[in-house]
Amino acid sequence: MKQIFSLGFLLALFTCSAFAQSEAQLQQAFEGKTVLVKIDMPATHQGIDLYPERNRPTDFDAYSKRLKNFGISIRNGDTAMITKVRLKDKNIEFQLGGGGYGTAGDETDTGTNFTSAPKSRREKDLEEALKQETDSRRRKELQDDLNYERRQREREDNRNRAIAEDAAEAKRERIARKRLEGGSRFNIWFEQKIQPASITPAAVMEILSEYVEFSGRASNRPEDTRPTAALFNPEVLLRLRKGLTRNDVEALLGRPMRVSEKGDASNRIIVWYYQVEDRDVQIELFEDVLVRYAITSR
């Protein structure tokens, strides 16, 4: 019995060690690298579920619901950093830009507590006095005073309710903004428990090849019909102006050669870089709107 127990313990120890080594290999190969994303990614830690062993590897029903419910945190054509790779029993978490909002520690409750104001001592006394009073004139006076106290309490309730609703709306906006800044992830699922030796960086890249490019730059695939900036005449730069949308800029200049970010979480600026003949072009976007641009000669 002791021999069987020892053998089982050693096998479990070996399996854990193999998982750890395989996970470390994936982390070393990917974490900190930048990829070009080829699909809109939902702004949630639920990310996109992939099933490479199935005929239909993408669960598009869940995908579309997550886009609708949470919005898009990483758009098709964006570059994103691989921030975490985790190897589990039956799945691989491939996290981009923080892995998606909604994990432990993230604020998700958008509700606020509203409690009606209690009756004042005077309102209670008036109600009691009204029960005892028999004189009609005095009862009318008491009722008028009681109505006044009740209206005061209702006004206080309305004021507090409005404050609570404003706080809830501010919280919803704050969480929605954080969701859009929290990244996303791919969840790669397998039918059977993962064999660590079969999960190599090359295998993961093959599974994700339809969804990301590991060069981190725009591809020259024939089906990508959007123009390349180098093909433009410099006169197109005269059409740049503040207020253009992200799509407007892409229509003019195509995909950027490089993408970076600046600012803090509440004021994130996306910077796109282009080369148009002998000129460098820098585009700054805030909430998908062009707010600043610079054109310099090389």
Kindly list the distances between the CA atom of residue 213 and the CA atoms of 9, 242, 246, in Å, as whole numbers in the listed order.
41, 31, 21
Per-residue pLDDT for the chain (298 aa), expressed as one digit of tens each? Answer: 444 444 443 334 334 455 567 888 899 989 988 999 999 999 999 999 999 999 889 988 899 999 988 888 898 888 899 999 999 889 999 999 989 888 766 666 666 777 888 899 998 998 898 899 899 999 999 899 989 999 999 998 888 888 778 777 777 777 667 777 789 999 999 999 888 777 888 889 999 999 999 864 444 443 443 444 434 455 677 788 888 888 888 888 888 888 888 877 667 888 888 887 778 889 999 888 898 888 887 6
Q: What angle do CA 195, 203, 51 make, to 5 degrees?
A: 75
In 3D, which of 237, 240, 239, 230 has the Cα closest to residue 276?
230
H or E segment and range at residue 131: helix 121-132
* pTM, entire model: 0.54
Given 3.30.1450.10, 3.40.630.10, 3.10.450.30, 3.30.450.20, which CATH number is that of 229-297?
Answer: 3.30.1450.10
Residue 29's alpha-carbon distances to 32, 34, 183, 200, 214, in angstroms, are 9, 11, 20, 9, 11
Q: Kind of pairing, strands 184-189 and 48-50?
A: parallel
Smallest Cα–Cα separation from 34: which of 294, 261, 293, 289? 261
Residue extents of the structural domains in the chain: 21-101+182-213, 121-177, 229-297
